[in-house]
Amino acid sequence: MCGIIGCTGVKNASAVLYKGLLDLEYRGYDSAGMAVLCDGGIVTVKKKGRVCALSAAAEELRGTSGIGHTRWATHGIPSDENAHPHTAGKFSVVHNGIIENYAELKEELVSQGCSFSSHTDSEVVVHLLNRCYSGDFKDAVLHTVRRLRGSFALCILCADSDGFAAVKYRNPIIVGKGGGALFAASDMPALSGLAESVAVLKDGQIAFASHGEMDLCDFSGEAQALTFSPVPAAVRAAGLCGFPHYMIKEINEIPAAVKNTVHAFLEERCFERVTRAAKKRGFGNIFLCGCGTAYHAALAAAYSAEELLGIPARAETAGEFRGRKSAVGRSTLFVAVSQSGETADTVEAARTAKQRGAYVLAVTNVPYSALTSVADCVVPVRAGTEVCVAATKSYCGQVAALSLVVSALKGRAECRRTLSELQEVCSKCASAISGFSAEAAARACASSSGVYFIGRGIDYPVALEGSLKLKEVSYVPGEGYPSGELKHGTLALIDGGTLAVAVMTDIRSGEKTASAVEQIYSRGGRVAVICSPGCAPRGIAERAEFYAELPECGGMLSPIISVIPLQLIAYRTAVMLGRDPDKPRNLAKSVTVE
């Protein structure tokens, strides 16, 4: 959701910014730009489209300090004018977040004679800086940030200063240093290869980088200590390694993601931490929250938790949770699930739950994220950097981590059983990936007017995830549905043009899903079946347009395996239809606005 970067003390700022923007492009890719300090002035280039559209113009820029931005539009359409940086007078600004009081600030600034050249909320920041400036860069920044409401990570250039300022409030900023240069960026991978050591800024902090020194203060101007540590090896993304897209590379990394998540659970003594909290609090109910794919992992875990632990467990999308008064209190275990740990709705839901007295447990792939700073306890997902906007390996890591949490709550024996089953799941994932050809199913999806993914029990969250994956990367419409619900309305949409993908990993519910499949056949619909051995009743597979048998799987770990064919189908369909599966339209990987 917008990526920002700043640097000073480098040989060629535009080359550094350009490389950093390519690394940050997953955060938004509708326009990009950079500004460089050049002979006492600021030179800005910005363009609608992907970062590569900047390459020729960036090569012309000469300077040792600059800021850059890659955008996911919130206020104002993707265009050259709305692209960042916004430059006026002595200042240039890049922004990630939303300035919630921008309308009133704009009115005030316009009445004072400022003229705006974009439709963004962010442009108010650059005009405020000019208004507050009387020769002292720090003073102007402090006065400006105190006027802003909402969420903002900013990098700011001032023509009278040789460096930049980086501001953090509810959106991430990591600062770094190395080789005499100083940096700031929205995430750590963008700094790997540039910085030798890094520090994660906290809300309400501002770093001023100049002449090889970085000074930190809070919004009142009071100096604060800044401690750098080496860039963790795990954040260094490895490139495509011969795969045509990150999506398929990351699907192939699922076995490693699950294995590393299991190691992390043991290494970080998560069993002990979870059970200690359970003993102290005596959890009477469990709430699980997340958005999109993370919500689907949470929903699967809610089903398992209620079945295994016999206490109420429910999953909700983070945005919905915040909007209503739910039964959350001191005896609630609140589990926030997020790959990035940055998703604004999930982080705010965790904050709300904590305020209401709940014990907050975060399941996340990013150990230094906003979510980890809110949580009482973190259970890591160690899927490695996920570059493709569509989540794949992180989902499987989330299901593994959540299953371990649920089984830990049941007791040591259950947790041991889950740990040993997860070892087998890793090799089953590998055979599900290599043994599945998605071509025929992808052809069927690509030619369908709508694809309905259906499942019951633990297969329902997987159906939701299969549907989300197909929609987001191939743009083929459809829905995930509980198989028993089709007959209550949605059957009206079934005809020869639609396809239903039935997921059946549970023998108990397989027969019920089979009834839904019969209803679809009776209305001329086409069906694809993905099932565990023995779960599809006789007569179902034979008539399916496409049939695939999964390696033996069932119970709470089955989503790790049953999702794989659905991810592969989505990927192949996207490629078949000429879409870019790594950067689908209108999306960004990190959704840092509410």
**CA-CA distance, 550 to 2, in Å (whole number)?**
39
Choosing from 2, 132, 158, 388, the catalytic residue is 2
From residue 344, give the alpha-carbon distance in Å to each of 151, 185, 218, 306, 371: 9, 18, 22, 27, 9
Min dist. Cβ of residue 290 to ligand F6R (A): 6
Nearer to ligand F6R, 124 or 438 (CB): 438
Nearer to ligand F6R, 419 or 591 (CB): 591
380, HSE (Cβ side, Cα atoms, 13 Å): 20
Min dist. Cβ of residue 352 to ligand F6R (A): 16
Strands 285-290 and 313-317: parallel
Nearer to ligand F6R, 82 or 293 (CB): 293
Which DSSP letter does residue 216 get? E
**CA-CA distance, 237 to 393, in Å (whole number)?**
14
Nearer to ligand F6R, 428 or 471 (CB): 471
Q: Any idea which residue has 């989540």 for tokens?
A: 391
**CA-CA distance, 273 to 52, in Å (whole number)?**
46
Min dist. Cβ of residue 435 to ligand F6R (A): 24
Identity of the residue numbered 546: F
Nearer to ligand F6R, 129 or 294 (CB): 294
Min dist. Cβ of residue 117 to ligand F6R (A): 31
Nearer to ligand F6R, 293 or 326 (CB): 293
Query: Does 52 participate in catalysis according to the annotation?
Result: no
Q: Any idea which residue has 């005896």 for tokens?
A: 331
Nearer to ligand F6R, 87 or 339 (CB): 339
Residue sitting closest to ligand F6R (CB): 292
Q: Answer for the pair 308, 406: CB distance below 8 angstroms, yes or no.
A: yes
**CA-CA distance, 74 to 516, in Å (whole number)?**
41
Min dist. Cβ of residue 344 to ligand F6R (A): 9
Min dist. Cβ of residue 460 to ligand F6R (A): 17
Q: Answer for the pair 251, 276: CB distance below 8 angstroms, yes or no.
A: no
- Token readout for 77 is 């359409």
Min dist. Cβ of residue 353 to ligand F6R (A): 15
Choosing from 47, 393, 469, 589, the catalytic residue is 589
> Which residue blocks in 435-533 are alpha helix, DSSP H?
439-446, 459-474, 507-522
C-alpha of 406 from chain center = 23
For residue 554, which phi and psi values (nearest 5 degrees)? -170, 170
Query: Does 2 participate in catalysis according to the annotation?
Result: yes
**CA-CA distance, 458 to 589, in Å (whole number)?**
26
**CA-CA distance, 49 to 56, in Å (whole number)?**
14
Min dist. Cβ of residue 24 to ligand F6R (A): 15
For residue 408, which phi and psi values (nearest 5 degrees)? -60, -40
**CA-CA distance, 236 to 128, in Å (whole number)?**
37
Task: For residue 216, list its beta bridge partners.
Answer: 207, 224
**CA-CA distance, 241 to 499, in Å (whole number)?**
34
Min dist. Cβ of residue 571 to ligand F6R (A): 12
Sites of contact with ligand F6R (CB under 6 A): 291-294, 338-340, 343, 346, 390-391, 468, 472, 591
Q: Answer for the pair 7, 191: CB distance below 8 angstroms, yes or no.
A: no
Nearer to ligand F6R, 6 or 480 (CB): 480
Nearer to ligand F6R, 404 or 529 (CB): 404
Give me the active site residues, please.
Answer: 2, 589
